[in-house]
Structure 1
Amino acid sequence: MRLSHPLCLLALALLLFPAAASAQTTPAFTPQVREFIRTDAPLIALTDAKVIDGTGRPAQLHQTVLLRNGRIEQVGPVKKVKVPKDAQVINCAGKTLIPGLVMLHEHLYYTMPTGAYFNIAQMPYSFPRLYLAGGATTIRTAGSIEPQTDLAIKRMIGEGKLIGPYIDVTAPYMEEAALDIPALNTIKGPEDAARTARFWADKGCTSFKMYMHATRADLAAVVQEAHRRQLKVTGHLCAVSYREAAELGIDNLEHGFMASSDFAAGKQPDRCDYPAARRGLLQLPAGAPEMQSLISFLISKKVALTSTLPVFEPYTGREIVLGGGLEALIPQLQERETRTWEQNQRKDSASTALFKKEMGWEKQFHDAGGLLVAGTDPTGAGRTIAGYANRRQVELLVEAGFTPVQAIRISSLNGAIYLGRDKEIGTIEAGKQADLVLVDGDPEKDIQQLRRMEIVFKRGVGFDSAKIFESVKGKVGLN
């Protein structure tokens, strides 16, 4: 049977997907989403909680937080906050409230090689819900392979049809032809880069990402188009150095200093020599004045730096899948990741040394006054998975020398500041959107207790973290 008329196609869609059709007219959440909601009462009192509010101020004990109609109405000591009679009360004794995480290097895809070639595949079902389960209430997709899918997922989450965070959607990668990655978008010069930026901005993308072989001219063209619309540009660079990018007006640099080619011997303009860039970082002393100079320059240009420690975490003596998410993978991928992990044990001393230096450089950048934000980059070898890695990123910041209070601020308020949304999200303060996470434990005493997330509130609606994680076990790699 051939159905070519639009009305015929619509009738077929209604026949095959009646639940989706009825959801079009449903003003609230679909049953598939509501199944994972613990509470959506209009007035909620979270009582006797420890609050790490995301501002960087010391944690406060025995606090009550009132949520009304999706916003934080009041925060204060139990003895001073009067709980209204009609409030749903959740006793938080022995538990901790933190802001919803604002993570800025996320993707809705996962590593799925094409034969012998590196490639990535979209995870439209599992990854959005894993992000929310892992406490991320706002994410930026720092690079996309299916922007139309990302934009649709953002819309469907907003309409209550899917589970997930608020999404700042980044346009397709801005990359000159060089890498054999089938899913990667490529451009041909600055004019094409500018056209691509205009096209996807008109479609609704709100961020742009330059990639490894993009040139200075490409970057200048995209920065001009983005800034004309008050949008921002980030980059995982190589052909363009960090100093050059800052001079050209880039807003953000990804992967801390791990993508910096500034210290590569014999660096040629607009040429990416990744092995040389890596050697330059390996040979650079942790306290080198050259790095201090670069840090000062980036800060003077107000360039934010995204920490993505999970994607660089060494293998030896560490988890197979970061944050404990091995069971989220389909069985074939569990075998792949376990095998890769075993093969790399005690063979990654260079990576370990560079990883430790990177942690130190990020701390130096932060302590010097730079805006350090957080992300995970669920790609690379395949050990980095949405949700699980978000919590691991906070743990690794603590390993890097930040206090838990600082690590949580970097992973919440700092991201909100970068997005220009800090008046709405990023902290637990009266008047802000009710995006916060209830943790069954005290991450200030033991940062790994952050993994004991119980309820993730997004605009005052409390989602069951454990139940969402359980629903996605064995599905990553399928969709």
Structure 2
Amino acid sequence: MPENPSGDEEALSPHERSNVPFEGLPGAERWVVYSGGERVGSVDVRDDGAEALVDYRVDTNGRGAKLREHIGLDPSGLPRRWEIDGTSLMGGAVRERFTVAGNRCEWTSQADEGDRPAHPPALYLANDTSPYASGVYARAALAAGGTVDALPSGKLTVKHLRPVRLAGTDLEAYVLAGVGLFPEFVLLDEQRRMVAKLGGTLMVREVVVREDHADAYPELVALDRELGAHHARRIQHRIRHRFDTPVRVRDVRVFDPHTLTLTGPCSVVFFRGRVTAVERGSELTSGEVQIDGQGGTLLAGLHDMHTHTTAAAGSFFLAAGVTTVRDMGNDNAMLLDLIPKVDSGELPGPTIVPSGLIEGRSPYSAALGVLPETLEEAIDAVRWYAARGYHQIKIYNSVDPSWPERIAAEAHRLGLRVTGHVPAFTTPDEMMLAGFDEITHINQLVLGWLLDKDEDTRTPLRLTAMARARDLDLDGARVRRTLGLMRRLGVGLDTTAVILERLMLSRAGQVQQGDVPYLYHTPVGYQRYRRRTFVPAKDEEQLRAYEESFPVLLRVMAMLHEAGVPLWPGTDDGTGFTLHRELELYVAAGIPAARVLRMATLDCAEHLGRGWRSGSVELGKDADLVLLDGDPTLDISAIRRIRMVVKRGDVYFPAEIYPELNIAPFGESPAIQTGVSQ
């Protein structure tokens, strides 16, 4: 902190003033950040209309951004100066600057740098920022009539949804679009000041609310679900195609996961959610709907085996060909409300198979699922999940290492499987012997070979320690022992390799290989978000350690596959695009593309106990189908070229879904003929 013996705040420069403590300053307000019902952070703001000082801090699941912002605003509410310093989610350094000087504006961030004429004026979208930015954006867009040009490019829109009464205060609810991939809902008072921010993520949602309304958190949770469902319901109305007659997809080659080959040209017919014919040729029946496959590949719907699902994520999954997801821990009330709405077709989305998360109490706890104080409460949570039809129990970082054996025994007694992170201060080997049926995340497995037992994996160390993997001896005794246990006990691995690639290879200003095929179709805010460094690194040598370590993780995947250990592709994400990259990484590890397709379809379905009804294109099974151009058995990246998706007989076209999500489409929909006669 700069010295200021006089105590005169105005004597300090704008950047120095941004480092003055907020306590006791006139006009300071606080917003509370909630996640899963827990207070996990705060946003302290001093905003006089011309200048805002912001202090943003979050601590959840052992991580969280720490940012200080100084924002200078012009009379229309557009930023003329925006300075941001601190660290991002995983501890990466942030130093972002935007200025308007004379007739030019300039910016520099982790993602990019640039300049352009200051006229016509435009709204700068900060790359690393606090939730308070949503209030700044909403006010500026409203002052411009609802739509404002954005920097570095694009437009931001704000639309009025409806009046809201919160804790006796009349507010207005708006939806922001054009910042990222997903809608943000903001509640504004009569002076257009932000009172709360909802939504804004594809995974577990945060609620940010001004402290004088913090007691209204339960109302905000309900409102968040209501607005999110309302938005998704409107999208579903526009993108869902239902047919009361049989639908014939003709001139396709079907992927057979049993033989790992494509059939010759054939037709697939489905009616009322079931496949009713797979036949050579195109023998029509009267009144059919006919869809021209144009020689493309038809395969069963894909699985993402590691998600944290929300209503907003459903459309993204469908557009990517994902018709089944395994939810790996969530706000339980939200998820139990969401599942029947998706199953009935009220909301768009894949079939959701839920896992019940159990986390321990610690300063690093993830605010999801159930956080028991005692082993008895943890056992009760297992019974709660079993009674509601959950598929499995997921144990998390802060669980007492002495608990999993009892938790697993009760879960197995009730017919539930057990998976999870490896709790801090124990090892994968010990957890497998305690009853784990599966390990979650490849880094959680590899940590057992890299760390001393007293190192705390409740912190970001569970991710940043992957930089040590370049020196790992894959022929060493620790590795051989773990692989032997996995084979003997039948333990599998939920890999999420794509998240490790995204973390370890993220570099400021660069687009990762897995993001190149889609990123420039997305809103500029999301493009910039993907072009930044997530890992903390003091120098180039530390970055090189990450680069040299990631290929080791791919070699581990290859070793596991060769040893017969089941691998389950998952993403820990909700965009759909990341599953495509996950499958590409499986092939990069040396697993044949056709075998990877089987993993993502039939193997996953059988693992979830659903192989009798899904996972392959066969007579009598669910009509969960994906039509794409090309042959993914020869080039796995063909999985990205999706033209149509069918989920239990409902037909969706990505070319229609993506514009609803502010994403430019990637191709055209197939031709449809209705009421075809013989």
TM over 0.5, shorter chain: yes
- Per-residue CA deviations over 1:338-361 (Å, capped at 9, x if unaligned) read 243799897633223332121122
2:154 aligned residue: none
- Maintained 8 Å contact 1:39/1:463: no
Q: More helix by proportion, 1 or 2?
A: 1
1:401-420 equivalent positions in 2, closer than 5 A: 401-420=590-609
2:568 — aligned with what? Answer: 373
Aligned counterpart in structure 1 of residue 494 of structure 2, from 287, 306, 323: 306
Offset, 1:457: 0.8
Q: Which amino acid aligns with 1:387?
A: G
Structure 1 segment 131-210 matched on structure 2, within 5 A: 131-144=317-330, 146-179=331-364, 186-210=371-395
> What's the CA shift for 1:180?
6.0
- The alpha carbon displacement at 1:197 in A equals 2.3
Per the TM alignment, residue 318 of structure 1 is displaced from its structure 2 partner at its CA by 4.9
Q: CA deviation at 1:135?
A: 1.1
Change in Cα spacing, 1:170 to 1:328, as seen in structure 2 (3 Å) is farther
Contact 2:422 2:444 in 1 (8 A): no
1:246 and 2:425 equivalent?
Answer: no
Q: Which amino acid aligns with 1:465?
A: P
Q: Pick 1 or 2: higher relative contact order, CA cutoff 8 A, min separation 6.
A: 1
In structure 1, what residue type is equivalent to 2:334?
T
Matched, 1:99 2:305: no
Unaligned segments of structure 1, at least 5 residues:
5-16, 24-28, 109-123, 379-384, 475-479
The match for 1:87 among 249, 263, 288 is 288
Q: 1-side partners of 2:385 and 2:520: how far apart?
A: 36
Partner SS, residue 261 of structure 1: helix
Deviation at 1:428, TM superposition (A): 1.5
- Measure, in 2, the Cα distance between the counterparts of 1:70 and 1:191: 43
The equivalent residue for 1:319 is 512
Cα contact 2:594–2:632 (8 A) shared by 1: no
CA contact (8 A) 1:455 1:463 kept: yes
Partner deviation per Cα, 1:373-419 (whole Å, 9 max, x = no partner): 110012xxxxxx42111222112212221222111111111211211
Q: 2: CA distance between counterparts of 1:31 and 1:54?
A: 36
Assess, with a 3 A threshold, how the Cα gap between structure 1 residues 237 and 178 changes in structure 2: closer, same or farther. farther
| More displaced 10-residue stretch of structure 1: 178-187 or 445-454 | 178-187
Give the match for residue 296 of structure 1: 484
State yes or no: 1:447 paired with 2:648.
no
CA distance in 1: counterparts of 2:471 and 2:166, whole angstroms: 64
CA offset digits 1:441-474 (Å, max 9, x no partner): 3323432222111111111221112322321227
Per the alignment, residue 358 of structure 1 pairs with 553
Q: Which amino acid is 1:125 matched to? A: A
Q: Which amino acid aligns with 2:236?
A: V
Q: 1:261 to 1:338 in 2, by over 3 A?
A: closer
Deviations 1:308-356 (A, max 9, x none): 1110112367538737554687655543432437998976332233321
- The answer on whether the counterparts of 2:305 and 2:326 sit within 8 Å (CA) in structure 1 is yes
TM-score (normalizing by structure 2): 0.57
2:314 aligned partner = 128
Alpha-carbon RMSD: 3.6
- Residue 75 (structure 1) aligned to one of 278, 297, 315: 278
Paired residue for 1:13? Answer: none
TM superposition shift of 1:437: 0.3
Letter in 1 for 2:326: R
With 82-91 and 223-232 compared, the bigger mean Cα shift is at 82-91
Report the alpha carbon displacement of residue 165 of structure 1 after superposing the two structures with TM.
0.5
Instruction: Name the SS for the 2:411 alignment partner.
Output: helix
What amino acid does structure 1 have at the position aligned with 2:430? Answer: E
Supply the distance in 2 between the matched residues of 1:323 and 1:227 (Cα, whole angstroms). 43
Q: Is the 8 A contact 2:233 2:348 kept in 1?
A: no
SS of the residue 1:262 aligns to? helix
Say if 1:84 and 1:364 are closer, same or farther in 2 by CA, change over 3 A: farther
Q: 1:318 to 1:399 in 2, by over 3 A?
A: farther
Question: C-alpha distance in 1, partners of 2:521/2:478?
Answer: 42
Structure 2, unaligned stretches of length 5 or more? 1-163, 168-222, 664-678
Provide the rounded CA distance (Å) in 1 between the counterparts of 2:410 and 2:255: 39
The Cα of 1:253 is off from its aligned counterpart by 0.9
> Aligned equivalents of 2:466 and 2:499: distance in 1?
15
Answer whether contact 1:327 1:334 (CA < 8 A) is retained.
yes
Quick check: which one's strand share is greater?
2
Q: Which residue of 2 aligns with 1:118?
A: none
Provide the residue aligned with 2:528 in structure 1.
Answer: 335
**Would you say the 8 A contact 2:506–2:533 is kept in 1?**
no
Which range moved further: 195-204 or 66-75?
195-204
1:138: how far off?
Answer: 0.7
